């Protein structure tokens, strides 16, 4: 898992919304070998108003409504950290209007100079999901991710307290 407090390189599949769905009137953008497609984006449950990031996409098929793509996510100054993990959805916007959905398959942290940061730490072990006893009514409900906790108005997460500047990776 990666908390987006700095730039991230992402790889995944983008699905462009049709004009009827509120997407681009001209259809999917045409990639150019000299320029990347740039737009704004956010990671739900954030919105375009409280979690906007910049996104640059490349290596996607011209005119395809669904295509593999690579990109870079850059949080805007003053926005709080967002959790970006394989399987999450990044909503691609032009202004605040959603025009595409990127399903993230791979995430790499980028250093301030744009190079990929490699971690020497071993990945955290997966939790044992085999419950040996049923949960008691007094136990709080299980939440499978911190993102799910943000859907409720009473929950708080440490990322909500993150400084409004680029934090450590």
Query: What confidence tens digit (pLDDT) does each residue in 47-74 have?
Result: 988 888 899 999 899 889 999 999 999 8
- What percent of the chain clears pLDDT 90, i.e. is strictly above it? 37
Q: Which domains does the chain have, with CATH numbers?
A: 2-109 (2.40.30.10)
Residue 19 corresponds to which tokens in the numbers above?
């004009």
Q: Where are the alpha helices (DSSP H) in the chain?
A: 146-149
Under 8 Å between Cβ of 157 and 143: no
Torsions phi, psi for 166 (to 5 deg)? -65, 120
Q: What is the pTM of this model?
A: 0.65
The region, left, alpha or beta by phi > 0 then psi within -120 to 50, assigned to residue 46 is beta
Mean pLDDT of 115-120: 64
Confidence of residue 1 (pLDDT cuts 50, 70, 90): very low
Query: Parallel, antiparallel, or unpaired for β 37-42 and 82-84?
Result: unpaired
Taking alpha carbons only, the member of 165, 22, 43, 145 closest to residue 104 is: 43
């Amino acid at each position: 898992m990666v908390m987006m407090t700095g730039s991230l390189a992402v790889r995944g599949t983008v699905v462009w919304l049709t004009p009827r769905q509120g997407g681009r009137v001209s259809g999917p953008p045409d990639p150019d070998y000299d320029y990347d497609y740039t737009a704004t984006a956010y990671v739900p449950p954030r919105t375009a108003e409280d979690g906007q990031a910049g996104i640059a996409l490349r290596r996607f098929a011209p005119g395809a409504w669904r295509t593999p793509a690579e990109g870079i996510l850059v949080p805007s100054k003053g926005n709080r950290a967002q959790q970006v993990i394989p399987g999450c959805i990044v909503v691609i916007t032009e202004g605040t209007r959603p025009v595409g959905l990127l399903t993230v398959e791979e995430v790499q942290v980028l250093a301030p100079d744009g190079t990929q940061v490699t971690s020497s730490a071993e990945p955290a072990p997966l939790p044992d999901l085999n419950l040996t006893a049923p949960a008691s009514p007094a136990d709080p409900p299980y939440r499978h991710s911190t993102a799910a906790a943000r859907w409720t108005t009473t929950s708080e997460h440490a990322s909500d307290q993150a400084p409004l500047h680029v934090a450590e990776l």
